[in-house]
Amino acid sequence: MADEAETRLREALARHVEPNLGMTLGEAGAIESVRPGPGGAAVRIVLPFPVAGYRDDLAAALAGHLAAAGLPGALDLELASRIPAFVADAKLRPLPEVANVIAVASGKGGVGKSTVAANLALALAAQGARVGLLDADIYGPSQPRMMGIAGERPTVREDRRLEPPRGHGIPVMSIGFLVDADQPMVWRGPMVTQALAQMLADTCWGQLDYLVVDMPPGTGDIQLTLTQRVPVSGAVIVTTPQEIALLDARKGLQMFRKVGVPVLGIVENMGLHRCPACGHESHVFDAGGGAAIAERYQTVLLGQLPLDARIREQADSGRPTVVSDPASPTAQAFHTIARRAAGALAAGAIRGAARLPAISIEEER
C-alpha cells in the first residue's frame, strides 16, 4: 500500500508543468525522492536553475496540482538546484570553469541593454548561482560604473592572468578597467574581437554557473564575429516597445539564430510609465511590442520593465535595482526575467538543444 501511494504521488508530481522550464517535472528528471506519510508527503526536487527564493511559490503550485489530482495533504518540499553546462555550438571549446554563457544583446543602442545585463547577473547571483559579468561593449563600456567599481583595476597574477574586480560580490571584466575613462576606442573590428578574446581567456573567472555577457549593440561584423568565437549558450534580446526598436530587435534575434545560438526570450524595457506626481499611467514607447515579436518568432517574453527614472538613477549610482531596492516590483521583475531565462537555457540543455534551423531573412511587411 505504501508503494502504491508513493507511485501515485510520484506520477502526479511528474505531470506538473514547471513554468520556467516549459516541461513537466518528469521530463526534467527533477523528482529525486518522494516519501508519503500519514500527514502528508516529503518531496525532494532538484531543478536545473537557481532556486533561492523560489521554494514557497513552487510548494504552493505543487499543493494545488496535487489537490486537483485528488491527492490533498501537507507537502514538505525540499528544493535544490543542479545547473547543467551547455554550449550551443559544439565546435567551440567551452570556457574553463564556466558552465553557461548568456549573451544580452539588442539590435540598437539606447534600449537599456547594459542595465538589463547588470540586473540579470545580480538577480541570478541572488537566486543562488555563481555568476560573472563580462562587458563586451568595447566602444562604450558601462559596467564598471553600473557595478560600482569604476576606477578599479584587475590584478595580474603570477601566471599573467587577470583577477577581475568584484562588484556586489560578482567578478566583472571590462575594457573600461584597462583604459582611461575619457579615451575613445578607435579600433577596427579585428582589434575589438581580439580584445574580447583576450579578456575571456586571460580572466580568472573561477567556477561559474553563468557568465553574463553585455554585448555591443547592433548586428554587424563585430557582433557576428563575437557570437562565432564566444561559446554562447543562449541569448536574451532587449528591446523597447516602439516599432523602430522592434525592427532592430528582429534583426538581432535572427542573427543569433543564423549562427545557431538559441534565443532564450525577449525583454521589453521602458514600457509602462507611471507619473510620480499624479499616478497617471501611459505607454510612452507604445505597448505590446515585446509580446508580438516573441509570438511571431516563437520565443517567449521573459518580462516587461517600466520606464522609471529610479532604474537609471540606481544604475548611474553603481547600485542597480536588484541590490539597491530588492523588494521593489522592478527588482522582482528582474528576478522573474532571470529565472525564466535560466529555465529556458536549462530546458535547451535537457532536450539536447538541437540547433535551431537557419532562418532566411525576408523583407519585412
Question: What is the predicted pLDDT for the residue at 181?
Answer: 72
From 3.40.50.300, 2.40.70.10, 3.50.50.60, 3.90.1150.10, which CATH number describes the 98-350 domain?
3.40.50.300
Q: What is the 3-state secondary structure (H, E, C) of 181-232?
A: CCCCCCCCHHHHHHHHHHHHHHECCCCEEEEEEECCCCCCHHHHHHHHHCCC
Beta-ladder partners of 75: 41
Neighbours of 189 (CB within 10 A): 14
Residue 104 three-state SS:
strand
| CA distance between the termini of the chain | 63
- The pairing of beta strand 208-214 with beta strand 131-135: parallel
Give pLDDT, residue 356: 37
Instruction: Give pLDDT, residue 211.
Output: 97
Q: What is the pLDDT of residue 235?
A: 95
Per-residue pLDDT, 286 = 59
- pLDDT value of residue 357: 38
Domain boundaries along the sequence of the chain: 2-81, 98-350
pTM of the model: 0.91
Give the CATH class of 2-81: alpha beta
- The DSSP code sequence of 108-125 is SSSSSHHHHHHHHHHHHH
**Residue 175 gets which letter from DSSP?**
G
Cα 226 to chain centroid distance, Å, stands at: 18
C-alpha cell read off for 84: 547543467
> Per-residue confidence of the chain (365 residues) as pLDDT tens digits?
458 888 999 999 999 999 999 999 999 999 999 998 777 789 999 999 999 999 999 999 999 999 999 888 889 999 999 999 998 887 888 888 899 999 999 987 888 999 999 999 999 999 999 999 999 988 889 999 999 999 899 999 988 899 999 999 999 999 999 887 777 777 777 788 888 888 888 999 999 999 999 998 887 777 777 787 788 999 999 998 877 777 788 888 888 988 889 999 999 998 776 667 676 666 655 567 788 888 888 899 999 999 888 999 999 999 999 999 999 999 999 999 999 999 999 999 998 744 433 333 344 43
